[in-house]
């Protein structure tokens, strides 16, 4: 699980940095949109893996993120919801990066407890 969390955190940070850099600096909306879709897909896959395996399933931040992600996915069915989802997704990516970082800290803390 530790390797998965490290990979997930690195992937999220790299995708967020690439999205921000390409979108704001170069104006390449096509490439930024592709990264946007990849980031959303990676979050969905990670959400499914965490939900299925039960990792951090009773963690408050992750539960709030589950609810927000599912709500935005349901809202995306409508045109208005799709626009809301399009503009809120970068913030959700930042929140998800924060959640991954906090979960890595929890895993590191558990390692220290095993050393005692």
Q: Which two tokens stand for residue 45?
A: 């896959």
What pLDDT score does 112 carry?
A: 66
Across all residues in the chain, what is the average pLDDT? Answer: 76
What pLDDT score does 60 carry?
A: 81
DSSP letter at 110 equals H
How many residues comprise the chain?
116
Mean per-residue pLDDT, 11-21: 80
pLDDT band for 10, please (50, 70, 90 cuts).
Answer: confident
Mean per-residue pLDDT, 92-112: 80
pLDDT band for 1, please (50, 70, 90 cuts).
Answer: low
Q: Which two tokens stand for residue 92?
A: 């959700």
What pLDDT score does 113 carry?
A: 64
Q: Which two tokens stand for residue 3?
A: 């390797």
Q: Is the dihedral of CA 51, 56, 58, 64 positive or negative?
A: negative
If one counts every other C-beta atom within 10 angstroms of the C-beta of residue 74, the result is 11
pLDDT in tens, 19-64: 777 777 776 667 767 777 777 788 788 878 877 877 766 678 878 8
Q: What angle do CA 108, 52, 58 make, to 5 degrees?
A: 55
pLDDT score of 116 more than 60: no
């Amino acid at each position: 699980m530790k390797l998965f969390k490290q990979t997930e955190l690195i992937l999220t940070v790299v995708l967020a940095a690439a999205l921000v850099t390409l979108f704001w600096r170069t104006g390449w909306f096509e490439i930024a949109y592709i990264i946007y879709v990849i980031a959303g897909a990676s979050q969905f896959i990670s959400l499914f893996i965490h939900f299925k395996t039960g990792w951090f399933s009773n963690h408050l931040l992750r539960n709030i993120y589950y609810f927000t992600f599912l709500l935005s996915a349901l809202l995306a069915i409508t045109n208005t919801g799709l626009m809301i989802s399009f503009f809120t997704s970068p913030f959700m990516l930042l929140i998800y990066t924060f959640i991954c970082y906090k979960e890595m800290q929890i895993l590191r803390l558990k390692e220290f407890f095993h050393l005692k």
